[in-house]
Structure 1
Amino acid sequence: MSEPWLSAEEIATHLGVTKDTVYAWIADKAMPAHKIGRLWKFQASEVDSWVRSGGTGGK
């Protein structure tokens, strides 16, 4: 079965950050996101891999 698409609010909750942080990461840090119409959608596995590879620029 395929992985569900998550909203910006859901991925923010998943990562423990705000929606504003998610949008900033999309714009500034190439966070993996897919724009569907006016909405951003995310796959948790893609985002988790991005975080693990240092995509947030955090420590």
Structure 2
Amino acid sequence: MSADDSAAYLSITKDTIYAWIAAKSMPAHKVGRLLKFQASKVNVWVGSVGAAHPGQGTAEGQPWK
């Protein structure tokens, strides 16, 4: 998935995706200048981080869906 696809998948902004990569080690792979994400790894990461920080799912303070 691309950053846009990942943001839509998680119902968050692309800026939040970039912040999570920098601050929380969200799993992403750089392919040239593009970031790519595996849905299975994102699901596991969201589950582990979301369980530890309920209600802190997005930059807007909305929980993950």
Q: Same fold (TM over 0.5)?
A: yes
RMSD: 1.6
Say whether 1:32 aligns with 2:15. no
Instruction: Name stretches of at least 5 consecutive residues in structure 2 with no aligned partner.
Output: 55-65
- One-letter amino acid of the structure 2 residue matched with residue 35 of structure 1: K
Q: 1:19 aligns with which of 5, 14, 32?
A: 14
- Superposed, which structure 2 residues align to 1:4-15 within 5 Å? 6-15=1-10
How much does 1:57 deviate? 5.8
How much does 1:58 deviate? 3.1
Instruction: Name stretches of at least 5 consecutive residues in structure 1 with no aligned partner.
Output: 1-5
Higher relative contact order (CA 8 A, sep 6+): 1
How much does 1:56 deviate? 8.6
After TM superposition, the score normalised by the length of structure 1 is 0.84
How much does 1:45 deviate? 0.6
Is the Cα contact below 8 Å between 1:8 and 1:19 reproduced in 2?
A: yes
**Whole-angstrom CA distance in 1 between matches of 2:37 and 2:6:** 7
After TM superposition, the score normalised by the length of structure 2 is 0.77
